[in-house]
Amino acid sequence: MKSKVITILWPLAFGIALILAWQFGLFHKVLDLKPFQLPVPSEIASTLAANLPKALKDCGVTISGALVGMIIGSLMGFMIAAIATFFPKWGYGGMIVVTALNAVPIVALSPIMNLWFSTGMEQKIAVVTVVCMAAMAINGYSGLNNINPYSIDLMHSVAASEWTIFKKLRFPNSLPYIFTASKINIASSIIAAIISEYFAASTSGLGFGIKDNLRKAEMAMGWSYIVVASLAGVILYCVILLVERDALKWHASQK
């Protein structure tokens, strides 16, 4: 119990020290910045408070797009991994294609998706889908195939079908890997959604807010959006951690 408190207290103290140093101008002094270049936390907070409904609405737009894209992308990625598992000889090539797709930078992906889809939301979901697919496919494939050979022998000894092996052995075995991929995808989906909004045919979302305000010298407002984006990411990450803790009680990493 005591160690748990320490685990939270130390980073918290560090964070507070950081914010105080920022608030009282330490960074400004060291980096020779003016408050209008780098707004102080209190200004960011008051700006955010004054524009909270708009910021939350934009946050909702971005996060919903990121989540939908992440779910679709993860499902597709896992399906590819499953197909590659069932048809090892030919399926593995699909994995390589997905990996190659992953190497296409988001900034190039967004305009392509802009051509394919007409609304900002569709484009955003498409970009996030592609970005999330690869991590899930690669991790899922590892999870479905990094299996103790004796476990498979045991399954064969009771004449289990490939499908049964998948259901009873491969899938549960892949769960920790799926969560690893999900944790990666949370971060990348939000970032992908934000970047896609830089190019999207829409005037809502955190990405549009960040870019528009930073251009127009509304630094405090821009930072408010950054804070909201980061907070949303951290909260979603924690949600995944909680789900993982409940779903993987049996796994060594949870002890």
Looking only at residues 214 through 233 of this chain, which bind another protein when binding is defined by CB under 8 A?
A: 214-217, 219, 222, 226, 229-230, 232-233
Spatial separation of the C-alpha atoms in residues 244 and 239, rounded to whole Å: 8
Spatial separation of the C-alpha atoms in residues 199 and 216, rounded to whole Å: 17
| Residues between 13 and 72 that touch another protein (CB under 8 A) | 14-15, 31, 33-34, 36-38
Q: Which residues, including other chains, have CB under 8 Å from residue 173's CB and lie 6 or more apart? A: 143, 144, 146, 147, 151
Q: From the CB of 67, what's the least distance to another protein, in Å? A: 14
Spatial separation of the C-alpha atoms in residues 181 and 191, rounded to whole Å: 15
Residue 139 near another protein by CB under 8 A: yes
For residue 84, the 8-state DSSP code is: H
Q: From the CB of 213, what's the least distance to another protein, in Å? A: 9
Residue of 142, 160, 166, 175 interacting with another protein (CB under 8 A): 142
Whichever of 99 and 164 has its CB closer to another protein, that residue is 99
**Strand ranges in 91-211 using DSSP code E only, listed in sequence order:** none
Q: From the CB of 158, what's the least distance to another protein, in Å? A: 19
Judged by CB under 8 A, how many residues of this single chain contact another protein?
81
Residue of 23, 51, 64, 102 interacting with another protein (CB under 8 A): 102
Spatial separation of the C-alpha atoms in residues 162 and 171, rounded to whole Å: 12
Residue 105 near another protein by CB under 8 A: yes
